[in-house]
C-alpha cells in the first residue's frame, strides 16, 4: 500500500469513516447487495470505510444465487456481480462483438420447471437444458459476470443498432449530479435521456457558482444548470459509453420518480411503459427541439435524418 494512500485513508477514517461505522451500530463488517445494481464508487467507498460490500446476482428460479463477489483476495470486481457460485455454470448465448448476450445458467440450483405450466417452462429452457435468465451480460477477465440489462428492454434505433438502456442508465447514474435517469430511443435516430438531478449536490454547486434559484422547477430550467449537465453528459459519453449508446439529447426533470407515483416497481426499477406514457411530451421534445441536443466530440450537432 503506497504511503500517501495509507495516510489519506487514516485521515478519512479519523474524520469520517469511524463515525459511519458508529452510526451503523459499530459491528457491521459485511453488506450483501442484490436486486438492483450497486454503483462501483459506492462499493469502493464503503470498503475503504472498513465495511465490505459484495454484490451478487440470482433469480427465484435459481434458488436464488447465480454469482457473487467473494471476500477472499482477488474475489471482488466492483461493477460486476462476481464469480459464478460453486457448481453453477454460466454461459453467454450468441454474444455480439463486445461479448454481450443473454445469460444462460445450468446447475443443481436451477428449478425443474414451473408447476403445471409446461409451455412457460419450455420457453425458459434451451434444447440442451440451459435456463434462459432473460438478462444480458458478459464475462470480464474470463470469470466475473457483468449484468448489462434486460433482454426485453433492449431497443433498436433507426440506425439499426441495439441499445441496452439499463447499462447506459447505470453509467449515467455514476455522476454525482444525477440521481435517476431513463434512456429512450426506440425507432429514433439517436439515444436521449430523461434525468432527475441529485438536487443536494446540485444545490451546493449553485451556491458555489452564484446560480440563483427558488425551487427545483426553476433550477432545472436555468441555462447555467443546463450547460453544467451538457458538459457532464459529454464527459460520460466520452469516458463510459460506446458510439451507439452516447446520449445526444436530454431533459432535466424537477421531481424524483417514486414507487408511490407508479413510476418505479417496489424494488425501485423503472416502469418504462408507464414512464413513456407519462413523459410522452418531454420525450417528443428531446427528439424534436435542437436546444436539447448535445454536440458531438467533433463539434457537429447530432442531426435527425
Mean pLDDT value across residues 74-84: 96
3-152 CATH: 3.40.50.12780
pLDDT tens-digit readout, 96-130: 888 999 999 999 999 999 999 999 999 999 999 99
Split at pLDDT 50, 70, 90, the class of 4 is confident
The segment(s) of the chain belonging to CATH 3.30.300.30 are: 154-292
Split at pLDDT 50, 70, 90, the class of 1 is low
pLDDT tens-digit readout, 261-281: 999 998 889 999 999 999 999
Residue 240 has pLDDT above 80, yes or no: yes
Q: Does CATH place domain 154-292 in 3.30.300.30?
A: yes
Burial (Cβ within 10 Å: 0-12, 13-18, ≥19) of residue 96: exposed
Split at pLDDT 50, 70, 90, the class of 9 is confident
The segment(s) of the chain belonging to CATH 3.40.50.12780 are: 3-152
Q: What is the pLDDT of residue 300?
A: 40
Residues of the chain with pLDDT > 70, as a percent, come to 95
Amino acid at each position: 500500500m503506497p504511503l500517501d494512500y495509507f495516510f489519506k485513508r487514516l485521515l478519512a477514517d479519523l474524520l469520517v469513516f469511524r463515525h459511519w461505522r458508529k452510526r451503523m451500530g459499530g459491528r457491521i463488517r459485511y453488506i450483501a447487495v442484490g436486486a438492483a445494481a450497486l454503483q462501483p464508487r459506492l462499493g469502493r467507498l464503503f470498503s475503504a470505510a472498513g465495511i465490505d460490500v459484495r454484490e451478487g446476482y440470482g433469480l427465484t428460479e435459481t434458488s436464488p444465487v447465480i454469482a457473487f463477489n467473494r471476500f477472499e483476495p482477488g474475489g471482488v470486481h466492483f461493477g460486476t456481480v462476481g464469480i459464478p457460485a460453486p457448481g453453477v455454470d454460466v454461459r453467454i448465448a450468441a454474444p455480439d462483438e463486445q461479448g454481450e448476450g443473454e445469460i444462460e445458467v445450468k446447475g443443481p440450483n436451477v428449478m425443474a420447471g414451473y408447476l403445471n405450466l409446461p409451455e412457460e417452462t419450455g420457453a425458459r429452457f434451451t434444447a440442451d437444458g440451459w435456463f434462459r435468465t432473460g438478462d444480458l451480460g458478459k464475462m470480464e477477465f474470463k470469470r466475473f459476470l457483468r449484468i448489462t440489462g434486460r433482454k426485453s428492454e433492449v431497443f433498436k434505433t433507426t440506425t439499426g443498432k441495439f441499445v441496452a438502456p439499463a447499462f447506459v442508465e447505470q453509467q449515467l447514474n455514476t455522476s454525482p449530479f444525477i440521481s435517476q435517469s431513463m434512456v429512450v430511443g426506440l425507432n429514433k435516430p439517436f439515444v436521449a435521456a430523461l434525468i432527475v438531478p441529485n438536487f443536494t449536490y446540485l444545490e451546493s454547486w449553485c451556491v458555489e457558482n452564484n446560480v440563483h434559484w427558488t425551487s427545483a422547477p426553476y433550477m432545472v430550467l436555468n441555462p447555467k444548470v443546463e450547460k453544467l449537465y451538457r458538459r457532464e453528459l459529454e464527459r460520460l459519453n466520452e469516458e463510459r459509453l460506446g458510439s451507439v449508446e452516447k446520449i445526444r439529447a436530454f431533459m432535466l426533470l424537477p421531481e424524483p420518480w417514486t414507487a408511490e407515483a407508479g413510476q418505479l416497481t417496489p424494488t425501485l426499477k423503472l416502469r418504462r411503459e408507464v414512464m413513456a406514457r407519462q413523459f410522452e411530451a418531454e420525450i417528443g421534445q428531446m427528439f424534436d427541439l435542437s436546444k436539447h441536443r448535445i454536440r458531438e466530440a467533433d463539434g457537429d450537432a447530432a442531426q435527425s435524418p
